């Protein structure tokens, strides 16, 4: 205040005062530019399971609908389709809550019974479902190239274990995360974060997430990962995937090794 009063008395403007102080080094007019830190290399590839590395023949929606109908819970195919990629237990809970069963019905017990029936039926169905063509080769190429590979899925542990054991894939992944490992499934990012934790990867800038449904891509974006890649081997149409922020849409997981070798990952928005 004393300096301002003196300079006003001398007829010196405030701007001139600041220029003089800056010239003397007391007030820098602009901060020095921060050195640009290069993005770290991608280390972890997080793959969805059904429709991304395992063929999607439409068995999952039908198994859900059938199990719910057997317990008197109505559903519709369109709404189930919109929830592809979500935790199957959460899908069941949604339809049970929507039905608003009487107060004397134990909702948690009902949900558990429906989910148990769905799980048993789907394990049986998946005994004959093949992997996506080229998926195993792509996974092995990624591993040979130094990448860690993990999976996330809306299935629970019993289903994913039965699939990987049948295919001999149990040793391929740095982490295999299921919807029952986290508090909330997709589009929440928690399965991706849990995969990072299990694989000891510290930064989302080192992660690429891959999936075949809008919820897969939403989870990747909610996690803030380096790359969000959609594949066209699942149930979602290409135009529905392209509506989501993404880095790239490719025909299949088999195209991943070449994609990772060809470009840097910056999501398109």
In Å, what is the CA distance from 125 to each residue of 118, 120, 194, 212?
10, 9, 28, 20
At 54, list the tokens.
């395992």
**pLDDT tens-digit map of 133-187:** 999 999 999 999 999 999 999 999 999 999 999 999 999 999 999 999 999 999 9
Residue (of 252, 256, 231) closest to 147 by Cα position: 256
On the CB side of 25, CA atoms within 13 Å amount to 0
pLDDT of residue 77: 85
Q: In terms of DSSP bridges, do strands 207-211 and 175-178 run parallel, antiparallel, or are they unpaired?
A: unpaired
Q: Decide: residue 259, CB within 10 A, 0-12 exposed, 13-18 middle, 19+ buried.
A: middle
pLDDT above 70: percentage of residues in the chain = 84
pLDDT of residue 18: 37
Residue (of 223, 220, 210) closest to 255 by Cα position: 210
pLDDT of residue 40: 81
Q: Could you tell me the pLDDT band of residue 99, with boundaries at 50, 70 and 90?
A: confident
Find residue 208's DSSP bridge partners: 45, 227
Rounded Cα–Cα distance for residues 137 and 254 (Å): 7
∠ at Cα 234 (229, 237), nearest 5°? 80
Q: Is 178 helix (H, G, I), strand (E, B) or coil?
A: strand
In Å, what is the CA distance from 116 to each residue of 70, 71, 185, 189?
12, 12, 18, 25
At 141, list the tokens.
């190429």
Q: Where in the chain is the domain with CATH 1.10.150?
A: 59-125
Write down the pTM of the prediction.
0.81
Rounded Cα–Cα distance for residues 173 and 140 (Å): 10
Topology adopted by domain 44-57+130-262 = Rossmann fold (3.40.50)
**pLDDT tens-digit map of 239-262:** 999 999 999 999 999 999 999 988
* Contact (CB, 8 A) for 92 and 111: yes
| φ, ψ (nearest 5 deg) of residue 148 | -85, 140
Q: Is 25 helix (H, G, I), strand (E, B) or coil?
A: coil
Q: Where in the chain is the domain with CATH 3.40.50.1000?
A: 44-57+130-262
Could you say which DSSP state residue 76 is in? Answer: -
Of the options 2.60.120, 3.30.70, 3.40.50, 1.10.150, the CATH number for the domain spanning 59-125: 1.10.150
* Contact (CB, 8 A) for 93 and 179: no
């Amino acid at each position: 205040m004393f300096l301002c009063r003196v300079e006003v008395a001398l007829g010196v403007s405030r701007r001139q005062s600041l220029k003089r102080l800056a010239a003397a080094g007391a007030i820098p007019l602009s901060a020095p530019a921060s050195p640009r830190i290069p993005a770290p290399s991608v280390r972890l590839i997080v793959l969805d399971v059904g429709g991304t590395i395992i063929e999607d023949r439409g068995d999952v929606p039908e198994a859900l609908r059938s199990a719910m109908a057997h317990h008197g819970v109505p559903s519709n195919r369109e709404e189930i389709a919109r929830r592809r990629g979500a935790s199957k237990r959460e899908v069941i809970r949604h339809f049970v809550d929507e039905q608003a069963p009487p107060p004397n019905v134990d909702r948690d017990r009902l949900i558990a019974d429906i989910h148990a029936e769905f799980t048993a039926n789907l394990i049986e169905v998946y005994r004959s479902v093949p992997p996506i063509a080229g998926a195993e080769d792509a996974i092995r190429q990624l591993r040979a190239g130094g990448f860690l590979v993990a999976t996330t899925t809306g299935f629970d542990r019993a289903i994913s274990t039965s699939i990987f054991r049948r295919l001999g894939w149990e040793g391929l992944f740095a982490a295999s995360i299921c919807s029952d490992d986290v508090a909330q499934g997709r589009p929440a990012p928690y399965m991706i974060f849990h995969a990072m934790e299990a694989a000891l990867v510290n930064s989302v800038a080192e992660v690429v997430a891959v999936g075949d449904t809008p919820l897969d891509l939403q989870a990747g974006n909610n996690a803030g990962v380096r790359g969000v890649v959609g594949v066209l081997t699942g149930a979602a149409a290409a135009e529905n995937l392209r509506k989501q922020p993404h880095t790239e849409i490719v025909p299949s997981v088999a195209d991943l090794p070449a994609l990772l070798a060809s470009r840097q990952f910056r999501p398109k928005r």
